[in-house]
Chain A
Amino acid sequence: MKLSVFRLSYWNRRGISFRSSIASLDPSFDGGFSGKSSIFWLVIHALCCLISLILGFRFSHLVLFFLFSTSVTNLYTTPFLSPGSGGVSQLLRLKPLETTSSTVKSSRVVVGRHGIRIRPWPHPNPIEVMRAHQLLVRVQKEQKSLYGVRSPKTVIAVTPTYVRTFQALHLTGVMHSLMLVPYDLVWIVVEAGGTTDETASFIAKSGLKTIHIGFDQKMPNTWEDRHKLESQMRLHALSRRVRDDKLDGIVMFADDSNMHSMELFDEIQTVKWFGALSVGILAHSGHAEELSSLLMNQVKSKGKPSMPIQGPSCDSSQKLVGWHVLNTLPYAKKTAAFTNDKATLMPSKMEWSGLVLNSRLLWKEPVVDKPTWVKDLNLLDDSEEMDSPLSLLKDPSMVEPLGSCGRHVLLWWLRVEARADSKFPPGWIINSPLEITVPSKRTPWPDSSSDLTVAIKEAKSGQSATERRSGKPRGSKSKSSKTKQEPKSF
């Protein structure tokens, strides 16, 4: 019976239960107890509980210790509480148990109750937090050098741009992405219509190594022509700068309207000669209903709307077998033709930004191990049409698929442009006052005009005044904010 009582309490809590230590002792004391002694023990237990409630510490444990000290050969100590001690930060006095013989060396670690040590100001020290952060940085640097890329190559980013309303929006995004790249970077910015101070000052803010090239044609208005011009601009950059200056590294095309992830730059370091990535296409339309109706059609036909992705596709053995290309049929006849068109703007069949190449492919001089399936860039001159860098290859099947064979989408295409005739303040600085100024009606600063004092008197006169002015929403506001600040009414 006693044992089962003990087991019951044990089942509720893990193991040690001091409260039931009197009621149910070790099996060593088991056996031979009559019912009277069990009642006796229960009464003692209840008494001890009451005394503990009054005194505030575990009286019963103390009694048990003094009555039943069973240790024979060991030296161990049990502390007892000084009565009335509260608070966790006090250390306890220890009373060693006297023994006749101790066969074991005394341990400095004592069993029993210990105080919980709290230092006087248990809050973080900012200097130590700084040191910990420096340790974290050091450990992460070591991790990067051990498990990251062994010998990182320079990243050469080619961006065609031109001055327009949304240039600041797009270039800021690209600039910040490139500033975060942990490898050496060269940023080649090709500008249509010649180099301008606006663009130059923008890219100078990045602090990166930049090459600003001008291209002598202005950006046309139709999207098709724009794509062609951008291709020409990129080729111009490749041939003039990468080839002639013999830049060494990995060339990637960072169009200013794209959004790049940081894993992209880690992934392109693994390119040997020519690689392809998956680009997520976020097609955007001026007519929101139109796009949603298109998606609904997609859902009806296939059952699941899928985001279109442009990129390599592989078979099960991770070899390149083909390309995912955007299905433009649902959008046929509804694509935007020119910049003011509100219809959906579609990317070209194979975006430049989804391909990366080793800059040594473009060099004039013969390079060791240059693969034979690449055409020589010298043989293409600027006037030739190249809608995608795949035409640079004689054998497109030698392209290396990146991002675990195109399953990771590492960048997104979303071309948002303002109308061609939209205006924006030059350099985004408002120097001259704007044409129309409307005085503010609710500024928090009091104005010492006579109009205002009259209004305040009116507001203070009574509630009826505010109710008469209930049509104007500011009336109630001035009443409520009267105590805080002087209202400015008109």
Chain B
Amino acid sequence: MKFSSWILIFLVCNLTVSTISAFRLSRSQPTERISGSAGDVLEDDPVGRLKVFVYELPSKYNKKILQKDPRCLTHMFAAEIYMQRFLLSSPVRTLNPEEADWFYVPVYTTCDLTPNGLPLPFKSPRMMRSAIQLIASNWPYWNRTEGADHFFVVPHDFGACFHYQEEKAIGRGILPLLQRATLVQTFGQRNHVCLKEGSITVPPYAPPQKMQSHLIPEKTPRSIFVYFRGLFYDVGNDPEGGYYARGARAAVWENFKDNPLFDISTEHPTTYYEDMQRAIFCLCPLGWAPWSPRLVEAVIFGCIPVIIADDIVLPFADAIPWEDIGVFVDEKDVPYLDTILTSIPPEVILRKQRLLANPSMKQAMLFPQPAQPGDAFHQVLNGLARKLPHERNVYLRPGEKLLNWTAGPVADLKPW
């Protein structure tokens, strides 16, 4: 008798839980919630789950560099600057380093810009090394763990390899001093030297206000099938073709330049954002590096991203189910892109559009000022919180040394 009453109570509880979830589903009618653990993770609140201590570095590492070149605030590597600003005023910040779970080192390594606006990474290893030496000598927390509970934001092309050219970046490898730290970077490619185990991939910075100001009414019918604007051949650096984008962009051009379904060209139209909102698919091929702000723009404007980059690791891959949202095409399948895209069933396309319309998805891709719940800053903190509690091997035994302070090219060892 008692057993059957327990069964009854259990069934009643089950029913109530399922009705609650059904209610949540029906509430968001035009958008679709990603059911399961992945979707709910996007809306986690990191406040209360971790504490971050922000080192007070001399301003030559951050503020002075920014003053020298304010263009750093608007280019696609601006995440490092906004991350520091967010953390300084966030509730997860603690002023007591003894209770901190994570330590943040605010050093702007991607702010040395050419007149064209492109960052030069040649001084970055020295700058990073100098910052680490500073914190190692002034605070005991670096030596305690050799940096395993510190995190850095390195949004450059190939992350902490600090070079824009892939062969040289692979040759350098990740900076030896950062071997144990957590890296927050935009670059992500599986089995690549410059992606460390445990790194957090973030989207590149895209200006939220600019994108918001170019929104068009949602009932504008989507009449472009595939949309892309950008280079196919980088004639300055790779005139023969074949190096840039591993030949993928050139293949797209050669195969589909006369295809009426593909609206692709190298122009820079002023209606770029509006056109993306009128397209069903937006191509996001790799360039010199596999990541690009096109992914962010596609997600914000509801255009299904077609990702052409082998083995790429997309931002927040553990929180966002990119397989359900975007279309992945191998680089070797690029000549058959039209067959692939036209053979997708319409229900699948509609479902992807519904998932993209989810506002939490769009919010997770942005770095708004001031920070809003669910945005990319919070996703980074969520990622850091998921790595807690630290493992036993994070804390070193006294006298144990794992990092080699003299490793790396000779020029990197010079003071900055």
Contact = CB atoms under 8 A, between A and B. Distances in A.
B170 A135 contact: no
Contact of B173 (A74, A136, A148): A74
B81 to A, nearest CB: 22
Contacts of A125: 338-339
Contacts of B256: 122
Nearest to B118: A14
Interface stretch (B180-188, B236-244, B315-323): B236-244
Nearest to B245: A114
A139 B258 contact: no
Most buried by B among A78, A106, A143, A148: A143
A27 to B, nearest CB: 5
A16 B254 contact: no
B214 interface: no
A397 to B, nearest CB: 30
B346 A135 contact: yes
Contact of A12 (B218, B221, B236): B236
A155 B30 CA distance: 27
B350 A138 contact: yes
Interface stretch (B1-9, B329-337, B382-390): B329-337
B145 interface: no
Interface string A97-140: 00000001111110111111111001111001101101110111
Given A71-B171, A129-B261, A132-B225, A10 B346 contact: no
A116 B65 CA distance: 41
Interface residues of B, number: 67
Contacts of A106: 191
Interface in B111-162: 114-116, 118, 120, 122
A136 B236 contact: no
B341 A132 contact: yes
Nearest to B256: A122
Interface string B20-60: 00000000001000000000000000000000000000000
Interface string B184-220: 0000011111000000000000000000000001110
A180 interface: no
Contacts of A71: 170-171
Contacts of B218: 143, 146-147
Contacts of A394: none
A76 interface: yes
Interface in A424-474: none
A76 B169 CA distance: 12
B173 A15 contact: no
B278 to A, nearest CB: 11
Given A107-B311, A124-B259, A128-B342, A135 B349 contact: yes
Contacts of A138: 346, 349-350
Interface in A6-41: 7, 10-18, 26-28, 30-31
Contacts, number: 171
Contacts of B170: 71, 74, 76, 111
Given A109-B311, A118-B335, A135-B346, A26 B409 contact: yes
A136 B223 contact: yes
Interface in B324-383: 331-332, 334-336, 338-339, 341-344, 346, 349-350, 353
B341 A28 contact: no
A17 to B, nearest CB: 6
B167 interface: yes
A201 interface: no
B171 to A, nearest CB: 5
B165 interface: yes
Given A74-B193, A146-B30, A16 B247 contact: no
Contacts of B118: 14-15
Contacts of B250: 88, 116
Nearest first, the 7 A-B pairs at minimum CB distance are: A13-B236, A147-B219, A119-B335, A107-B191, A28-B409, A114-B247, A140-B221
Given A15-B288, A136-B222, A140-B223, 18 more contacts: A10-B114, A11-B116, A14-B234, A15-B237, A28-B410, A76-B167, A107-B191, A113-B247, A114-B331, A116-B242, A117-B255, A124-B258, A124-B259, A132-B341, A138-B346, A138-B350, A140-B222, A142-B350
10 contacts: A10-B120, A14-B237, A28-B410, A88-B254, A107-B191, A108-B191, A132-B261, A135-B349, A136-B223, A136-B225
Interface of B: 30, 114-116, 118, 120, 122, 164-168, 170-171, 173, 189-193, 217-219, 221-223, 225, 234, 236-238, 241-243, 246-247, 250-251, 254-256, 258-261, 280, 288, 310-311, 331-332, 334-336, 338-339, 341-344, 346, 349-350, 353, 409-411
